[in-house]
Amino acid sequence: MDWTGPLHRIDDYRWQIPKSFRSDMRVPGLIFASERMIAAIKQDQTPVQVANVATLPGIVRYSLAMPDIHWGYGLPIGGVCATDIERGGVVTPGGVGSDINCGVRLIRTNLKVSDLQNKMEELVSGLFFTIPSGLGSKGEIRVIGKDEERVLLEGSEWAVKQGYGVQEDLEATEEGGSLDFANPEMVSQRALERGGKQLGTLGSGNHFLEIQEVVTIYEEKEARGFGLFPGQLTVMIHTGSRGLGYQVCEDYIKVMLDAARKYNISLVDKQLCCAPCESKEGKAYLGAMACAANYAWANRQCLMHLTRKVFERVFGMSFKDLGMELVYDVAHNIGKFETHKIDGAERRLFIHRKGATRAFPEGHPALPEKLKPYGQPAIVPGDMGRASYLLVGTEQGYAETFGTVCHGAGRVMSRTAAIKKGAGRAIDKELKKKGIIVKSAGRETLAEEMPEAYKDIDEVVDVLYRAGIAKKIARMKPLGVIKG
Contact at 8 Å (CB) between 6 and 24?
no
Residue 129 makes CB contacts below 8 A (sequence gap 6+) with none
**What separation in angstroms does the CA of 343 have from each of 61, 183, 340, 347?**
9, 33, 10, 9
Do the beta carbons of residue 362 and residue 441 sit within 8 Å?
Answer: no
Instruction: Please answer whether residues 303 and 107 qualify as being in contact, where contact means their C-beta atoms are separated by less than 8 angstroms.
Output: no
Long-range contacts of 144-148 (CB under 8 A, 24+ apart): 144/196, 148/192, 148/195, 148/196
Residue from 207, 332, 340, 407 carrying the catalytic annotation:
407
Give 55-118 as a DSSP string: TSTTEEEEEEEEEEEE--SSSPEEEEEEEEGGGT-EE-GGGT-SSTT-EEEEEEEEEEGGG-TT
280-315 and 146-154 are packed helices; what angle lies between their axes, rounded to 10 degrees? 90
CA distance 294 to 213: 29
In sequence order, what are the residues at sequence separation of 6 or more whose Cβ sits closer than 8 angstroms to the Cβ of residue 181?
A: 286, 287, 290, 337
**Cα 103 to Cα 355: distance, rounded to the nearest angstrom:** 9
Strand-pair category, 14-17 with 90-91: unpaired
What is the C-alpha to C-alpha distance for residues 99 and 137, in angstroms, rounded to an integer?
15
CB atoms < 10 A from the CB of 264, how many? Answer: 7
* Cβ contacts of 115 within 8 Å, gap of 6 or more: 233, 315
Q: What span, in angstroms and rounded, lies between the C-alpha atoms of 95 and 116?
A: 42
Distance between CA atoms of 432 and 428, rounded to whole angstroms? 6
305 carries an active-site annotation: no
User: What 8-state DSSP symbol labels residue 383?
Assistant: -
- Listed in sequence order, the residues at least 6 apart from 195 whose beta carbon sits closer than 8 Å to its beta carbon are 143, 148, 151, 241, 242, 243, 244, 247, 295
- The two beta strands, 470-483 and 437-440, are parallel
SS3 track for 283-345: HHHHHHHHHHHHHHHHHHHHHHHHHHHHHHHHHCCCCCCCCCCEEEEEECEEEEEEEEEECCE
* Catalytically active residues, by annotation: 407
